[in-house]
Amino acid sequence: MVDHIVDATAPRGRVEIRSGVGRRRRWSDEDKGRIVAESYAPGAVVSEIARRHEISPQHLFAWRKAARNGQLALAADEAAVFVPVMMAPQKAEVAKRSALPSITIEMAGVVVRVECGVDVGWLAAVLRVMKALA
């Protein structure tokens, strides 16, 4: 009695053959930092990024932990960008109206005035757009 018949004519799944010394790869700190920075992008999914770079999600999470502990530097594109701030004297009537401290940022012909308590994520998005315009 035959329990199972194998059909050899059906297409098989993808087979990947790796040659060389072994599967272990060496990643430079710059590559690790770039991949970790990519995983912190808004809307990024760690498992998709890990799959794209052919590493396990656990491996990527270990790199992210190293970055949080200061053992791994993120890519320069994701590093904080500072712009020069110039203090200007306020007019007397404006100072009377506004009791909260504020910051004025001018770049590429665009002026943004920020008061205390602004959402930092929103401000970062606005500054990224301003940088793209410059």
pTM of the model: 0.43
pLDDT of residue 27: 87
How do residues 19-41 score in pLDDT, each as one tens digit?
Answer: 655 567 888 888 999 999 888 88
| Exposure on the CB side of residue 125, measured as CA atoms within 13 A | 7
| Burial readout 100-123 (b: 16 or more C-beta within 10 A, e: otherwise) | eeeeebeeeeeeeebeeeeeeeee
The overall longest dimension of the chain from CA atoms, in Å, is 99
Percent of the chain with pLDDT over 70: 71
Q: Above 60 in pLDDT, residue 78?
A: no
